[in-house]
Structure 1
Amino acid sequence: MQLRIYITFFLLVALSACAHSENLPKDTVETRFTNPVWDGADPWMVKQSDNYIYCFSSNNGIAVSSSKFMTKKTEAKSIWQAPSSGWNSNCVWAPEIHFIDGHWYVYYAAGVSGPPFIHQRAGVLRSVNDNVYSEYEDMGMLNTGDDPEDSSKNIWAIDMTVLEHSDKLYAIWSGWLEQVDTDATSQHLFIQEMENPYTLKGKRVLLSSPEQSWETGGPLDLNEGPQVLKHDEKVFIIYSCRESWLKEYRQGMLQLKNPDANPLDPESWIKTGPVFEGNDSVHGVGHVSFVKSPDGTEDWIIYHSKKTTEPGWDRDVRIQPFTWNADGTPDFGEAVRAGKELKRPSGEVEIEQNQINQ
C-alpha cells in the first residue's frame, strides 16, 4: 500500500511539472533549418532595415510579407489585384519590389490573356508612402520596344529588375527581339537607362543572347530572370538560362569589367557560366535573389527548384549561403539537397531568442 502511495505521489508531481512547463517561456530556439523553406517560384526577397520583404504573385495579383527572419515567411498581404480588363488583366508573373527614393516600386509582367503567352509586358506599381503595406498606384506599362515614341510598337518583356549605378538607374529585363505570334520564341536580356523609376529613357540595348553551349541545347534557348549582385566595387548580373520547365535550368553571370565601364555597352560585360546549377538531387535551379544575413556578415542566395525531374513548373523555394572567390566573383557552391540541415543565417537565432524572452 505504501509503495502504491509513493508511485501515485510521484506521478502527480511529474504531471504537475509537465503542465507547468508548458506555460514557461522557452529559452532556446531551433538553430538549424532545412530546405525547401516553402512552396513557390520566382522568389524575390530584399532586406530593408531589419525586415525581409518577400514579394510574389498570388491569385492574379501581387502580395508581400515582412519578417525578421529569412527562413520564416509571415502571413502575406495582397497589395494589388489585376484589373478585370486591359493589358495587365491576366498572367501576373515574377514581381520584384524595390525601395527607391522613399517609395516602394513593384516591377511585374502581365498580359491581356494567355496561353499562348504572347502578350506579356512589363508594368510598375508605386507605393503612396514608405510603408510596404501601403496602397499602390499603377504607374502603367513600360515601353520595352525599339520606338520610344510609339508604345503601340511595344515588345514582349518579363522579369524586369533595376540597377542603380553611378547615380543612374537602369532597367534590365528579358524580352524578344521582335513581337511575334508564338511564345516558343527565344528570349534575350536587354538594358535601358531610366528617367525615373517608372519611365524608360532612350532606347533598349541588347545585352545578352543565349549563345554559349551551357545556355543552349534544349527546345527553346532562354536568357531570363536577371538579378543584380554587387560586391565591393564589382557589379554582376546573375540570370537564368535554358528552359524554366526542365531540370537543366541554371544560372549564368555577366560581370561589369570595371566600375567606370558603361553598362549600356555590351562590350563592358563579361559572360561566365554556368555559375549555379542543379545536381542529382536538386533540379532546375533558377530565378534567384540575394540578401545579407540579419547581422550583415553572410551572403545568401534565394532560388526556386523543381520538385521532380519531369517537365513542368511545380517548384519550391530554397535558400543557402554563398561566399566569394579571391578575385571578387561569387562562389555559389553546390545546390544543397532537401532535408540537409543548415545553420540559420547569422544573427537570426539571437533575434528570435530576444523575442521569446521579452
Structure 2
Amino acid sequence: MYITISPQKIGGAFPKSCSGFVQYLEKENEGKNHTDLEYFFNQTHDQISAETVVREIDGNTAKLKNSEPKFYSITLNPSQNELKHLQSPDQLKEYTREVMKKYAECFNRQIEGRKVQVDDLKYFAKLETVRTYKGHDWKIKENQPYATRILELKNEMRRISHGESTGNLKVLQREMDQLEGAAPHQLNGKRIVQGTLKEGNQQHIHIIISRKDASNRYSLSPGSTYKASQVTMNGKIVHRGFDRDRFFQEAEKVFDKQFGYHRNFGDSYHSRKLWRQNPKSFLQQLSKLPTPEKKLAFSLMRASGFPNLPSIPTSKVQVALKTFKLLKRGLEISGKSSGIGI
C-alpha cells in the first residue's frame, strides 16, 4: 500500500479554494453518461457531487491564514498484488472508511477533552481507475537518456528540414528508431513516456480532507513535524502532533485484516522505509527470508519501483553482493518513486 499525504499547492502558494483540485479529480467523468459517473463519498454518504465537496471544504477554513493549507490530499494506492484480493470497487471504498478511522486516531489532539474521532473529520474521497506515467516514475527516469537523445535528433532533423543545418535525415531517423526500440521500458511496443496509460488494474483513492475539523473550530494538520507533544497556549495545555509512521503501518494492518492478505516483506511500508534509512539492516532481513518469500519479495519490489533489481539470488551472499552494488545507484530513485510521504 503506497500512501501519500500532502498539502495542495499552486506554484509556491496554497490555493484559497479546492475547486481546481476537485475539477482535476473529475477528469475520469468526462464524456460519461449520467448513470456511469463516479461520485465522491465520505464516512457516511455516497454519491456526493463535486459542487458539494467544493462548498463544504471551502466553507470550513475559519481563522486559517493565507500562508496555511486549507486542505490536504491523501492518496491510497494499493499494489497490483493487493488489488487482486479485492472483488469490487466498493471494497476499496469500505477500506477507505476504515483507514480514516485510523487517521483520526493518529492525531495527538483533543476536542472537548476527548481524542479525535473519525466523525470530527471533514473529508471527501474519490475512486479513480486510471493512472498515467509521471516524470517521477522510475520507468520514466530510466528511459530519460533515450528521450533526451531522441529530442536532440528531432531538433537536428527540424533544423535540416528548414535549411538551418546540413546532415543526412535518413541516418538520423535510423538512429532515432533504434533508440525508440532500445529504451528499457516499453508498453505495447512503444517507449513509455509521460502521459502513457499504466497497464493493469489501477484502482486507487484520492481524499480531500479539510485542515479544520468538522466543527470548523480546531486545526487538524497531518503535516505537523511533531508525533506527539504538548505546549501551553493562553494558560492551557494543548496537545499537538500527528504520527505518520503509525498511520502508514495501521493502514496496512487494516487492509491485511479486512481482506485476509498475507503481506510479504517486499510489499510493506517497513521494508521501503528500511531501504531508504538503513540499507544494511534491509539486506540482513531480506537475506533471512525463506527462498519462496525472498523470490516473492523481489518480484513485489521490482513491480513497485525498486529500480534495476537483479535476478532472484539463491544465497545470502548473492543477495548481499548484488544488492549492495545497486543500493547507491538506486536508493535515491526508489525513495522518490515510492509514493510514501515519510
TM class by shorter chain equals: under 0.3
> What TM-score, normalized to structure 1?
0.23
TM-score (norm 2): 0.24
- Bigger RCO of structures 1 and 2 (CA < 8 A, at least 6 apart): 2
- Counting helix residues as a fraction of each chain, which structure ranks higher? 2
